[in-house]
Structure 1
Amino acid sequence: MRKIIHIDMDCYFAAVEMRDFPELRGKPIAVGGRSDRRGVISTCNYEAREYGVRSAMASAYALRLCPDLILVPGRMAVYKSVSQQIQSIFRQYTDLIEPLSLDEAYLDVTDCQFSQGSATLMAAEIRDKIFVETGLTASAGVAPVKFLAKIASDLNKPNGQYVILPQMIPEFVKTLSLNKIPGVGKVTAQKLADLGLHTCGDVQGFPDAILLAKFGKFGASLLERAQGIDARGIYPHRERKSVGVETTLAKDIVTLSQCQSVMESLIPELSKRVQRSAKDRKISKQVVKLKFNDFKQTTIEHRSDEISLTLFYILLEQALERRHDRGIRLIGISVGLNHEDNNQKRITELKKAQLDLGF
C-alpha cells in the first residue's frame, strides 16, 4: 500500500502578494488582468471568494460581484522562485515528486523513513517548513492513492490536512460526490445525473456494461474510482503533451480576416515556444481554440507533423462555423507533441551503446 501526499498551496499567487505587501491583507484581492483590457482572474484570496469571485472569471465580472476587489498584476518570476523553494522542501523527503503546477504536487513517501515513516507526520512537517521558509500556508491530503489524496487536500482548506487511511476508503468513497473526481466536469456530471448517478455509491450499484457502453474508456476509469482504485504511480518527469499560445482580445471580433490577422501574430510565439520547450519532439496535431463572448469555447484539431499556417487557416474556418453570431473574445493555437519520439530516441541510444560494447 502506497503513501501519497498531495500538497496544495492556499490561494498561491494572492498569498504571495499579501506576504510581500502587508497592506493587502484582510482585503479582497485577485491576481489577474485589468478589467478595461478584458483580463481574467488568475487566483484570488478567500476574502474575494466570499463574494463569488473565482479563478478564470473575467476581471470585469469579478469587479461587479465585488466592487472593492483589488486587482493585482501577476509577478510570475516571483511565483516561480518561491515554487522552487517549496520544491526543495519536498526533495528533503522524497525524489518521487510529480508537480502539477507551481503550487501543487504529489509526493510518494512510501519508502521514506522520516517521521517514523508516517505520511501524516511528514505532511504536517512539510507544511510547517513551507510556512517557516516562505511565510505561506499549504494544505495537504494523505491517502494510499493519487485521486483520493488530491480530494483530501481540499477538505480542510486553508492551512489544514486530511488523512484517508486504507481502511477508511470503502466508506469514504461510498458517499463521495462524482463531481469531486478529477475529470468529471459539469457536462459529464450532468450526463451521470441523468442516469441517476450522483455518488460513487450509486456507481457501485449500477450495471458496468451500461456505463462502459455510454462512456467507454472514461467509464472504465470511473468504475475504478468509485471503488477507490487508482493504480497510477508518481511520474517525476512528465512529458509535455502540447505547446500553445493564446490571446484575449481587447474587443470582440467577428470576421474571418480579423481572426486570421490575430492568428498570424501568434505563429512566431508558438514557433519560439516549440523550439524552446520541445525542440527534440515532433508534433502530432494542430489545434485552434476560440472563446466566444458568452464565454463558451470550441476547439478544432487535425493531425499534422509540422506547423502549417494553411492548416491553421482551415481549422479556423471550421471553428468559425460554430460562432452562431457570437463575438470572439479569445483565439488560441497549439500543437500536440508526439511522445513516442523520446522513447525511440532512448531505444536508438541503447542500441548504439550495445554496439559500442561489442554486443
Structure 2
Amino acid sequence: MKHTDPKPRHHAAPTDAAVHVRGLVKHYGETKALDGVDLQVPEGTVLGVLGPNGAGKTTLVRCLSTLIVPDAGSATVAGFDVVRQPRRLRRAIGLTGQYASVDEKLSGWENLYMIGRLLDLTRPEARRRADEMLERFSLTEAAARPVSQYSGGMRRRLDLAASMIGRPSVLFLDEPTTGLDPRTRNEVWDEVRRMVTDGVTVLLTTQYMEEAEQLAQALTVIDRGQVIAQGQVDELKARVGGRTLRIRPSDPADLAAMAAALAETGLDGVAGSTVAPEEGRLYVPILADEQLTAVVALLADRGYGIADIGTDLPSLDEVFLAITGHKAHPSDTKTEGVAA
C-alpha cells in the first residue's frame, strides 16, 4: 500500500511520550476512517481510546502497529516512525486484537515458543520466556494442551502472553475483553495493571466504560475519524457538568422538608432535587460551585443537621453519550470493518 503523502510533516515527539500522533489520516475510498487524529501517550501510562463502532479506533491501532500505512500525518511509537522505521518499531511493540490470534493446533507453550523464535530470541531464551508467560498468566497447567481445547478466557490470556513475549515497551490492546465473562475480564485488567507497573505504555481501545475508568489515566474520544474530546477521566466528566450533591440528613424525617426548602430558593436546577427515602438521602443537581455553597448554607440556616455530604460527577456512560451523541453498546459484536 503506497504512502500518498511524499513529504509528511514530522514533529518532534515529546521525550516523555511513548506514542505521539499528529494529523493522522487514513481513507478507504470516500470513507475517512481517520481524519486528522492527534494524540499522545506518556510513557508508563494507559490511554483509553473510546468511540462507537466505526469511529476509527481499530484503524488507528492498525496504523500505529504498522499493519497499514496512513495516507498522511505522522506518528512515532517508542521513538520509531511508523512509516519510515516499521521493522524496528515492530520489535518494540505488542498487539492484542479483538480476537485471539493464536494457532489452535499448537499447544499454549508451542505458540509462545514459536513467537519467541520469530522475534529472534535464542532457543533457550524462547523456552524460558514461554515458561515465564504461562506462569504469569496462570496457564502452566494447560501448557501442553492444544489451544483448541482452551476456553475463551484462556485464549485471551494466551494472546496477551504472546504479545508480551518480546518485552514490548508499548502495548496496543484493541478491545481486549470483548466477549469475556466478568471474572476473566477482571483477570485481564489485573494483568494490564501489572504491565503498566513494569513500565509498559498501553493504548487501549474499548467500548466498556467501566474498563476505561478502571485502567486509563487519560481518555481520547474518537467519532467519525476525528478526536472530539481528550483529557483525564474526571476532566471529561467535569466538562459535561451536572454534578450531583448527595446529602444524608441527621434525621431522615427531614428529607421532604429539606427538598421543599431547596425548591423555594429559585436556584437553577436545585428545584429538581430528588428524595430517596430508602437510602435516607437527598440528591441535588449542581451546575456550579456557587450553588453547592448556597445549598449547604441554606440547609444550615434552616437548622437541618447533615450527617453526610458528597458530590458525584456524571458516569462515563453519560459523558460518552453527551460528547458523541451515541450510546456505547458493549454487547455489540459488530466490528469496524474496512472503515474501522
Give the TM-score band, short-chain normalised.
under 0.3
Higher helix share: 1
TM-score (normalised: structure 2)? 0.26
TM-score (normalizing by structure 1): 0.25
Structure with the higher fraction of residues in strand conformation: 2
Which of the pair has the greater relative contact order for Cα pairs under 8 Å at 6+ separation? 2
- Tell me which structure has the larger Cα radius of gyration: 2
